[in-house]
Chains A and B, each alone.
Chain A
Amino acid sequence: DTGVSQDPRHKITKRGQNVTFRCDPISEHNRLYWYRQTLGQGPEFLTYFQNEAQLEKSRLLSDRFSAERPKGSFSTLEIQRTEQGDSAMYLCASTPVTAPYGYTFGSGTRLTVV
């Protein structure tokens, strides 16, 4: 297991297009988190899953954003009708049920909306 993987690393898209990001957590980690980080700021919580259940969503997650974790393994984050304000680094992290404070982060997906 090589840690938390995110794909793609970089995405440039035109305003109005839809984009989808993928996160593969560490296999035995049952909790998966999505965070968003804009330039010069700390990351902000978007949503998290315990197994396949989405347990919390931030107010930052407008109705253009949707996240899934259909089989309790990998997760996808989709942004519909992208706006320039969506440009950010999207970070995924996972934790095991036995050590819920033990975060492992992915390298992130940097989205640029032009």
Chain B
Amino acid sequence: KNEVEQSPQNLTAQEGEFITINCSYSVGISALHWLQQHPGGGIVSLFMLSSGKKKHGRLIATINIQEKHSSLHITASHPRDSAVYICALIQGAQKLVFGQGTRLTINP
């Protein structure tokens, strides 16, 4: 069993819909990243969470340390949100352990 499981693996929605991507993990962590990867490979860190909830624009990330679960929400989704979203665990202060990613497609 992978240490990090994301769901769904693929998600297609219409513009304007509320999007939720889930991340469950099985190990102790120091913090968790939500990352965005566009075609071409570049990765951008959206959030780094160790507890609670963070909001940036239309993006909201939550984490429940006790339940070992985090979610990324996108409100009023737009075609430019189409990308792969990756959950990554930080163990200690060192390497990241990545989920497989969720491929999100927002249709106009």
**Inter-chain contact B100/A42, CB cutoff 8 Å:** yes
How many cross-chain pairs have Cβ atoms below 8 Å apart between A and B? 61
**Inter-chain contact B98/A48, CB cutoff 8 Å:** no
User: Which residues in chain A, 7-48, are within 8 Å of chain B measured between CB atoms?
Assistant: 33, 35, 37, 40-45, 48
A91 touches B (CB below 8 Å):
yes
**Inter-chain contact A101/B31, CB cutoff 8 Å:** yes
Interface size class of B (residues with CB under 8 A): 20 to 34
A15 to B36, CA, bound (A): 32
**Inter-chain contact A43/B98, CB cutoff 8 Å:** yes
A61 to B4, CA, bound (A): 21
Given contacts A100-B93, A101-B48, A102-B48, is CB(A42)–CB(B43) below 8 Å?
A: no
Interface size class of A (residues with CB under 8 A): 20 to 34
**Inter-chain contact A33/B101, CB cutoff 8 Å:** no
Point out the residue from A33, A48, A105 that lies within 8 Å of B45, measured CB to CB. A105
The closest CB in chain A to the CB of B103 belongs to A40
A106 to B41, CA, bound (A): 9
